[in-house]
Amino acid sequence: MPLFPLYLLFLLAAVSILPHSHQYHPLDPLTPAELTLVSTILTTYYPGTTHNLTFQYIGLEEPNKDALLSWLQKNQIKTPIPPRQASVIARINHKTHQIIVDLSHNKVVYDQVYHGYGYPLLTFEEQIAANALARTHPPFLAAIRRRRLKIEEVVCGSFTVGWYGEKRRNRRLVRVMCYYLDGTVNLYMRPIEAITVTVDLDEMKIIEFRDRLTVAVPKADGTDYRESQQQPPFGPQLMGITVVQPDGPSFTIDGHIVRWGNWDFHLSFDARAGPIISLASIYDTEKHKTRRVLYRGFVSELFVPYMDLTEEWYYRTFFDAGEYGYGLCAVSLQPYRDCPANAVFMDAYIAGQNGMPVRMYNVFCIFERYSGDILWRHTETSVPSEVVTEVRPEVTLVVRMVSTVGNYDYINDWEFKQSGSMKMTVGLTGLLEVRGSNYTHKDQIKEEVYGTLLAENTLGAHHDHFLTYHLDLDVDGEANSFVKSKLQMTRVPDQSSPRKSYWEVVSETAKTESDAKVKLGLESADLLVVNPSKKTRIGNFVGYRLIPGSVVGPLLSDDDYAQIRGAFTMYNLWVTPYNKSEKWAGGLYADQSRGDDNLAAWTSRNREIENKDIVLWYTVGFHHVPYQEDFPVMPTLSSGFELRPSNFFENNPMLKVKPLKVVRSSN
């Protein structure tokens, strides 16, 4: 729930539209000039005199995959790139339009009013306007006065409302919830409970006001996390430590193409998804060719349901990407702190509500990570008259974004390894969403409070985070199959062996979408994407496998409205046939969605997925029971998964990796 968005500050900085020194890549995000062009075309098409037009989303309309792949195969210098198009979601006179603008021909090529359930992303501007409404609403002011709070210390945020079975509700609503500063910047630890201000975003007016009861606002003491506000005793200070690359980094960035070691990939930014990794490919030194692994990967949705049933809390079942924009909420990364000394930073552009480009500084950092890990090693003492020790330290490449969706900070890493692995990690930090309460000691609590008492008057609410990744793997080509290699305990017929059992590998190729659904924790299996038309020399199908991290699934009933909307979390892994329109696991219109356009709904068609261009959807989940250590700011908790080559190479591709040059520091 962004309150005052960072990007309004960016607006103050002049947007300089620099000529690009490199040719466009078809997957490059829209440039400031292109964003300006989109808004010019559409404000001409729907003039402001007769139309109330707001841009809820502008991004690249991705070229068709076959057009892009065919362009890639040709001489890219001489062949024109596929036409540049923008995908726009706009509210025009209180209707949602899905629009495609052709930027080569300066025209609208598609414009459709959406009549289904759900609404587009919220803009920062309308959230700010909604928040401001509360502060001018006399009953709200009275409620603040009654609590003996100072209105100038009150800040508010806009919360999406979800869907709870209402038959008809064709209004874009938010609930405005407020917090108290007064001696701290940690407003999230100081909720002003029991006041509900419901705002219609299109009308931009308050349609309902409730002040249910008075609950103590937690004190400011101990909540501020700024270095400047801390009092002794301090903990021990560690000595300085840094990473040094005297000869510079090993990667290059050419426009949006990043090249490092054997890897190259395209890195783009999207207001909804944040980082998009495309065309991730690895150069196979043995085959002398570049082999594609991932056509496109990004975080498709973040589902964050809270488990508190009180009136101001029950509806908090957020879709952080589809409602608030995982990219929109990206923050400026701090050199030496968010990223190590050897990091390189990248900016991005988004469109404001009026369509004009806004520069976001340092939204990505890219760095080589050298953590002291070992890529591979062995010590051999059995060879007569010599001890063989071979060790290769591990260096990886990390692409990082941090998205601060109101209180929570998501640290989003894509890590590329020399082994051909890709590791996706999300770290959760930032501030909890807490409920104000009159309780000051646990012994007073005799009812269900849906959370942990973290400090006096402060309940840390139970909640989940589910991050669903869209992974369009193209393992050495588009046509792939999903194979579950089950590890099955097998009894040995009596007397045929001194052993009574072993496990065998039973590989099942998923023919349809329903074959491919996986709930982790129920059985042991390797989860593979193979190319059924490519084999290694000795006959194994080339593939990659997905190695899960923690095993977390939803704990809501399937018929609960929030779970119907978030049904894409029902399985940890799904596989769908590639379909350009199926990007957003929670549906294109996530706000107030009803589950009719999500991953679970799409797969109910049970389409064929064998030897087809397939997409994996994998969900990283967290159940979060808060503990006092999460107060007033949370230590990072991380989880993730790995995509690891599995018979993709003929042998260990790092066999020939030379040991790192020893850098002897002058220090």
Q: Would you say 109 or 492 has its CB closer to a copy of itself?
A: 492
Nearest distance in Å: CB 258, a copy of itself: 14
Query: Would you say the C-alpha torsion 576, 578, 581, 585 has a positive or negative sign?
Result: positive
For residue 433, CA distances in Å to 319, 373, 377, 430 come to 15, 35, 45, 10
Contacts of 540 (CB under 8 A, 6+ apart): 647
Tokens 């709904």, residue located? 601
Cβ(120)–Cβ(270) below 8 Å:
no
Identity of the amino acid at 193:
E
Q: Token pair 């960035």 is at which residue?
A: 253
Rounded Cα distance, 610 and 342, in Å: 43
Smallest CA-to-CA distance from 562 within 159, 172, 162 is with 162
Q: Which of 28, 202, 270, 320 is catalytic?
A: 320
Nearest distance from C-beta of residue 563 to a copy of itself, angstroms = 7
- What's the distance, CA 562 to chain centroid? 19
DSSP-derived secondary structure for 114-178: E-SS-B-PPPHHHHHHHHHHHTT-HHHHHHHHHTT--GGGEEEEEEE----S-S---S-EEEEEE
- Give Rg (Cα) of the chain: 26
In the complex, minimum distance from the CB of residue 548 to a copy of itself, in angstroms, rounded to a whole number: 7
- Nearest-approach distance from CB 109 to a copy of itself, in angstroms: 36
Closest distance to a copy of itself from the beta carbon of 592 (Å): 13
Q: Which of helix, strand or coil describes residue 529?
A: strand
Q: Which is nearer to a copy of itself, 47 or 521 (CB)?
A: 521
CA pair distance 410, 640, nearest whole angstrom: 12
Give the number of other Cβ atoms within 10 Å of residue 425's Cβ: 18
Q: Omega into 393 within 30° of 0, i.e. cis?
A: no
Q: Are 599 and 568 in contact (CB under 8 A)?
A: yes
Instruction: Check if 408 is active-site.
Output: yes
646 DSSP assignment: S
Would you say 16 or 247 has its CB closer to a copy of itself? 247
Instruction: Give the start-end residues of each E strand in 311-432.
Output: 317-319, 344-351, 357-369, 374-380, 388-393, 396-405, 408-417, 422-430
Measured from the CB atom, the residue of 82 and 340 that comes closer to a copy of itself is 340
394: which residues sit within 8 A by CB, 6+ positions away? 370, 371, 373, 374, 375, 417, 418
Cα separation, 638 vs 321, whole angstroms:
19
Would you say the C-alpha torsion 124, 128, 133, 134 has a positive or negative sign?
positive
Between 63 and 621, name the residue whose CB sits nearer to a copy of itself.
621
Minimum distance from residue 329 beta carbon to a copy of itself (Å):
9
- Report in angstroms how near the CB of residue 156 gets to a copy of itself at its nearest: 9
Specify the DSSP class assigned to residue 335: B
Q: Residue 26, preceding bond cis, omega within 30 degrees? A: no
Name the minimum Å distance from CB 280 to a copy of itself.
Answer: 16
First-to-final CA distance of the chain: 46
Per the CB < 8 A criterion, the answer to whether 43 and 101 are in contact is no
CB of 289 to a copy of itself, least distance (A): 12
Catalytic entry in 408, 410, 589, 618 = 408
CA distance 366 to 421: 17
Q: Which is nearer to a copy of itself, 87 or 569 (CB)?
A: 569
539 sits in which H/E element: none
Name the nearest CA neighbour of 164 among 153, 156, 175: 175
State in angstroms the smallest separation of the CB of 179 from a copy of itself: 8
Residue 148: partners with Cβ closer than 8 Å, 6 or more residues away: none
CA nearest 219: which of 193, 246, 191? 191
- Provide the minimum distance between the beta carbon of 504 and a copy of itself in the complex, in angstroms, as a whole number: 6
Residue 572, classified by CB atoms within 10 Å of its CB into exposed (0-12), middle (13-18) or buried (19+), is buried
314 in catalytic set: no
- Cα→Cα distances 143→209, 212, 440, Å: 10, 10, 23
Minimum CB separation of residue 236 from a copy of itself in Å reads 5
Q: Which residues are tagged catalytic?
A: 320, 408
